[in-house]
Amino acid sequence: MNFVQSLAGKNCLVIGAGVTGMACQEALVNFGANSKLFDEKVKAGADIVNEIPSGVELAIISPGWRDDHLVISKLRSDGVEILSEIDFAWQVKQVLAPSQKWIALTGTNGKTTTIKMVESIFKAAKINGAACGNVGETVIASVCAKKPLDYLAIELSSFQIHWSNLPKYESVAVLNIAEDHIDWHGSFEAYSQAKLKLLKHSNKVILNKSDSELSRRTSSDLITWFSLDTPNAGELGVVENLLIDRAFSASPSQANEIAELVDITPTVPHNVLNALAAAALALSIGIKYEDIKIGLKNFSPDHHRMELVLSKNEINWIDDSKATNPHAAAASLLSNFKVVWIAGGLAKGASMSDLVKRCASRIKAVILIGEDRELIAKAIGDYSPKIEVVRVNQLSDAKTLMNDVVSAAIKLAQPGDTVLLAPACASMDQFDSYVQRGQLFAQAVKAQV
């Protein structure tokens, strides 16, 4: 009896009723399981464990649930088998699509852009594959697709990797590691180890040599490195205006052109690194250089990622609402020269000191919003007290708040400046999501400027 057959009649519990949980529930029901959804309710203390149904044999955990949650602890003490969505999908894949190959990508920033670059390359190469995971379809839904896919390019968060133990990837790439989700993992060390755990589950490992944390924490002759420097044998890099491969070429002495810098949009340093990582993943499964070049050239980034909202009176207004941690905000700030910076929100336990130290020379003024804005204010006071700081309080709804923010920016910005929404924080204290935050910013700019 295979894994899918064994689910028929089994008492299953899906922990978490979000997008991932609903996809797992649908798959279990389709396989004939007696499956129930369980989501956290507003209950005091340990009462929540009383809501767990009796007789559970298998639990599928959505990635956002912490390992030490009372519900998880109770299931473990009861001897219930626990699988993550990724491990569940892997076991289903072994039955439904045994020849399907998985490649994966993680990092603090740039994951979605890079995995969608890979998907664009798939299209150019006419590969029967798709991007999934932390973007697009869930992994389980992609595995269960009516027309089986030959390749999955999977974007993985630290939560997903933490819970995952079974998959074997053809190749994995890690873009960077910087402070994020410290509130969930408990420490930067635990967060870093969650990311690097992925390396143990792959035939090929592709890492960003430009990232100090990756360079410091990993060392192996088996690693394929990429960077913005001239590549050594076995690496990918940049030579003048070309992206060059010396890792997947026929011999160590051979260098092959992947693409030109002008093929990458936007042509900023961190996005060129994204393109190199996407190219390396594609090359690792045998995709040709000419298809990679076309795929990269055809790709355009999502909204709210360094998106130019308006250029007027020699002032650029840029929406990078997706910059939800200091590392991402730093990349945006360092891509501009004189910035009126809009920042703040939920810091998720991250420090703002390194961000301000690295980027102070680019910041003309900062407009602060949100619950943890004083962390940024303190860092500016400590490292660059001459930067003008303006605080905008939320007096009513989110739309009014963003209108007030843009009004404040109009007073500060002068020709040659960039007004940049790159909050370095999550949005949920004042907005529904980073998407709403970016949309309201764009609306306010177009209405007022």
pLDDT value of residue 426: 95
Residue 217: Cβ-neighbour burial (10 angstroms; 0-12, 13-18, 19+): middle
Listed in order, the ranges of the chain carrying CATH 3.40.1190.10 are: 88-298
**In angstroms, rounded to a whole number, what is the distance separating the alpha carbons of residues 398 and 410?**
19
pLDDT value of residue 44: 44
pLDDT value of residue 108: 87
Listed in order, the ranges of the chain carrying CATH 3.90.190.20 are: 307-448
pLDDT value of residue 312: 93
- Residue with the two structure tokens 């999934």: 132
Q: DSSP state, 168? A: -
Residue positions in the annotated binding site? 107-113
pLDDT value of residue 46: 56
Residue positions in the annotated binding site for ATP? 107-113
Listed in order, the ranges of the chain carrying CATH 3.40.50.720 are: 8-79
pLDDT value of residue 42: 44
* CATH code reported for the domain at 8-79: 3.40.50.720
Class of domain 88-298: alpha beta
For the chain, list residues with pLDDT below 50. 42-44
What lies within 8 Å, CB to CB, of 425 at 6+ separation is 324, 325, 343, 344, 345, 346, 347, 348, 370, 372
pLDDT value of residue 109: 85
pLDDT value of residue 193: 87
Any idea what the Cα angle at residue 46 is, between residues 40 and 51, rounded to 5°? 50
Model confidence over 226-256: pLDDT tens digits? Answer: 999 999 999 999 999 999 999 998 887 899 9
**Residue/partner pairs of 296-300 with CB below 8 Å, 24 or more apart:** 296/117, 296/120, 296/121, 296/258, 296/259, 296/263, 296/264, 297/259, 297/263, 298/120, 298/123, 298/124, 299/116, 299/117, 299/120, 299/265, 300/265
Q: Does domain 307-448 have CATH number 3.90.190.20?
A: yes
Model confidence over 5-56: pLDDT tens digits? Answer: 999 999 999 999 889 999 999 999 999 999 999 987 544 455 778 888 999 9
Q: DSSP state, 128? A: S
